[in-house]
Structure formats: structure tokens, C-alpha cells
Amino acid sequence: MAIDIGRRQVISALGGAARIAIALAFTAALTTRGAAQDFVAPPGAPVAAFPKPKRPVAGIVSPIWRGEKERDAAGEPRQLVRLLGIKPGMIVADIGAGSGYYVVRLAPIVGPNGRIIAEDVVPEYLRNLRNRVRDLGLQNVTISLGEPHDPRLPAHSLDAAVLVHMYHEIAQPYGLLYNLAPALKPGARVGIVDAIGPTLKHGTPPSLLRCELAVVGYREIAFHLLTGSNAYLAIFAPPSDESRTRPDAMIACTQ
């Protein structure tokens, strides 16, 4: 369900309560329609409002991190589902969905009463993912094109968000985390999976991850080393809309 430019302008001009009501209405509509529909929510704070990260940002070089059979053998999805508590009926956003490795594995778990929102900033990845979802007949997946600083997701719609092997590629982490927070319901959780290593080598040091999320107001509630690889899962509670750190008060972390 693509939103045309004129409608975006109208929505962005409305007050906060009206924007939330419209976003919730769009979300309700998406849960009752067919597979792999497009969606974009009104924009959040602009990229210029946030400090630039004081660490290297890895390039987006591929829609996949490792081979799917290799990841299955390591048991990464099973660990994430168990540790993050993903259950039937939940609405989960896969931020940086790429090839859809997690999308196609989480969709059956949340079931027909749940939904996976597959978000990415690379249109080509989403086109390929849309085809994959269609070919698999998944009826509970929504395709969402975001921006590097803003996932453009519906307000108060998500039970969980996952960012898997892509945090090191986020060009504006403070903006993305700030603009993601309003999309999360009270009690929602954010799960970040990454390798232990420098960002230029497609990993994120846990201390750097904790620092950058704390800058925005996220609180770490669990940290797990995953078996079968050198990756970890860090779980965070998001700040409320009111308790988020103001963009002009943020101080970028150093690696």
C-alpha cells in the first residue's frame, strides 16, 4: 500500500495525535490484507538533527551475512526467538531485512494473527524480498522502505524489533534509534545481533553498542553470547517518547 507524495505531506503536517491515529489505522489495514504490501509511515526527526557517529560505518555490501544453511546449522534464529520471546500474534520489525533470512523464518512463528514488517533502505533488496515472500505464499509480511536515519514505521505498532548483522552498517545510528523508539509498544524489546569485532570488519564491539543506545535512552536488559558463532544478542528496552534524549543533547560515542 504505497502512500503518495501528497498524502505524505498532509500526514506530516498533522499533529502528533492525528499522526499516531493514522499510522495505527494503516497498521490495522495491513494486518487484514494480502502478502508483502508496501508501507511507509510519516517521517520522524530529520537526519541533520543528530550528531554523526565517531566511528567507521561499514558499507552495505550484500543482502546476506552468511549462507542460510550455515546460519541454520549454527541455530542462530532458534536462539533469537527463544531469548527475545517471539511468540504467535506478535508484530515484529526486521530492520535491515536484506534477503529476508529472518523474515521467512519469523513469519510462521508469529502466525496469521501476527505480522513481520520487513524494512530496508535498499530498494533492490526489497524488490527481491517481495518476490521471495510471494513465492513462499507468506500472507503476514509487510514490505517497508526506510531511510538510514529513520525506519519509517507505524507509531506504537511493534512488539519487537530485530537488527541482525547490520548495526555496523547504520550510517546514522542515533537518528535511527531515536525514530525507531515511537514505533515500539510499551514493554516492547529491541534485539541486536552482531559479531564481536570492529565496525569496519562488519562487527560491533558490545561496549560501543551499549554506549550508542544509551545515548538515545535505551536500557540494556540482557546480553547473550550465541552458540555456533562469534555473534551476540543484546536486548534493550526502548525509551518512551518523552524520555528519549533530545537530538541536540546527544553526544556521540567514541569507539
| Averages of pLDDT over each 10 residues, the chain, 255 residues | 35 42 44 53 94 90 65 90 98 96 97 97 95 96 96 96 95 97 97 94 95 98 94 97 96 89
Residue listed under C-alpha cell 502528533:
16
- Three-class secondary structure of residue 82 per DSSP: helix
Helix %, strand %, coil % of the chain (to 5): 40, 20, 40
Enter the pTM of the model. 0.83
* Residues contacting residue 178 through CB under 8 Å, at least 6 positions apart: 44, 45, 50, 216, 244, 245, 247
Sign of the CA dihedral 156, 186, 195, 164?
Answer: negative
**Per-residue pLDDT at 207:** 97
Q: Tell me the three state secondary structure of residue 157.
A: coil
Neighbours of 239 (CB within 10 A): 19
Single-letter code of the amino acid located at 63: P
Look at residues 102, 169, 97, 106 and name the one whose alpha carbon lies nearest to residue 126: 97
Instruction: Report the alpha-carbon angle 57-174-124, nearest 5.
Output: 55
DSSP-derived 3-state class of residue 147: strand
Backbone region of residue 184 per phi and psi (left: phi > 0; alpha: psi in -120 to 50; beta: other values): beta
Which residue in this structure is represented by grid cell 547504520?
170
State residue 36's pLDDT score: 53
Contact 237, 177 (CB under 8 A): no
Cell 517518547 -> residue: 241
* One-letter amino acid for residue 204 of the chain: T
Interacting residues of 69 by C-beta distance below 8 A, sequence separation 6+:
none
- What pLDDT shows up at residue 245? 98
Q: Can you give the pLDDT at residue 34? A: 43
Bridge partners (DSSP) listed for residue 195: 231
